Structure 1
Amino acid sequence: MTASGTTSPAVLDQLQRRSTDPKRRILFVGATIVTMDSGLGVLHDADLLVEGDTIMAVGPGLSPQSAVVVDARGTILAPGFVDTHRHAWETQLRRIMPDVDDLGAYVMSTLAGYATVYRPHDMYVGTRLAALTAIDSGITTMLDFSHNSRTAEHSDAAIQALIDTGIRGVHAAMGPHFGDWDKRWPDDLTPGSDLGRADRAAHLRRREPLRELRQPAEGP
């Protein structure tokens, strides 16, 4: 596989078919690489070799060996950004939100309006869309301040969306401000609780090391 052919469907097919291979090797060639290493600095016209989920080498003229080669000329490779506060469940409201003049009007439209009728599936849709748009803009870690966690099932759906997109994510569950909900938060985040989310959190840590369940900090 040569660099000149990396924009072809064949290369995309190679990447997709080998996506579950823990030893999959990908070589990005010809990029400007922001290493965040004081000894290396910013490298121009350089290569980056990834094996599985580990960066194995950075520098010019790396050997492709058995790697899928991606032509990265004209691009910048940098560590992923971290988004520390996003209300992911609201993402699908972007196109239908009315113009509002102040925070109060926004709260009444979203938290007291749309949020009260959200189903677990709606949580999944919003969170998945949020994670995908984050990845598309270079964000690889996201804290989802999920202040519409009406039931443990709502949290389950949001967490599943994080898992399905592959993003490194924290689901910070919080009870809603308006409408009906199970009123088990935050007690069900306590270790040893039999109310739902605590057991889910322990299971999540064992099964999905890139995802976490947390309680967000509340303001005064």
Structure 2
Amino acid sequence: MEKPAIISVDEGSASRVLDIITLAFGRDPVARFFFSTPEAYLHWWPRWVMAIGKNGFAAGGVEATADFRAGAIWLPPGVETDPADIAALDMPAGDPEEDALSEALQAAMAEYHPSEPHWYLWTLGADPSVQGQGYGALLLEHRLAQIDERSEPAYLEASSPGLVPFYKRFGFEQIGLIDVDPVPPLVPMFRPPR
């Protein structure tokens, strides 16, 4: 594979990154647990991704390959999701059991989220037609080199235990397991400053 250039993406090109992430996460166990039908997934998943990662665009935390085959949304240190962006989604109310599961999952995730300033990898994905060809690794290497120059930590939640070895190759270590049955488990991973 000839390495494509990495570009910074602002909110004006957000839809292109959201398209990548939507394709990439089509079989993701956690995403599909909450957005289980094709209609719900295609409608709500890109909106959910944007609501969580919106502030990353203005903060320079979003990158893609120049051919828009892979993208990553990071929230840099000090940049957080705005609760108003989530509220603005105006998602239909779920049943009380589903709402309780969502709240329990968010609470369990918060237990592992570092309190110190860090880079948070919200999403990393590649178009399924190029998955396994190094696009995600290229984006990760590029951003981690910048993070290492600043000697800052990074954090993510792997949405499948099968992703753990991939992230370990880049210095992330598993720091626990987020297991809120019946939601598929998430694996919190931390990468200390270098």
> Normalising by the residue count of structure 2, what TM-score does the alignment of the two structures yield?
0.28
> Normalising by the residue count of structure 1, what TM-score does the alignment of the two structures yield?
0.26
The structure richer in helix per residue is 2
Which of structures 1 and 2 has the bigger CA Rg?
1
Structure number with greater CO (CA < 8 Å, separation at least 6) is 2
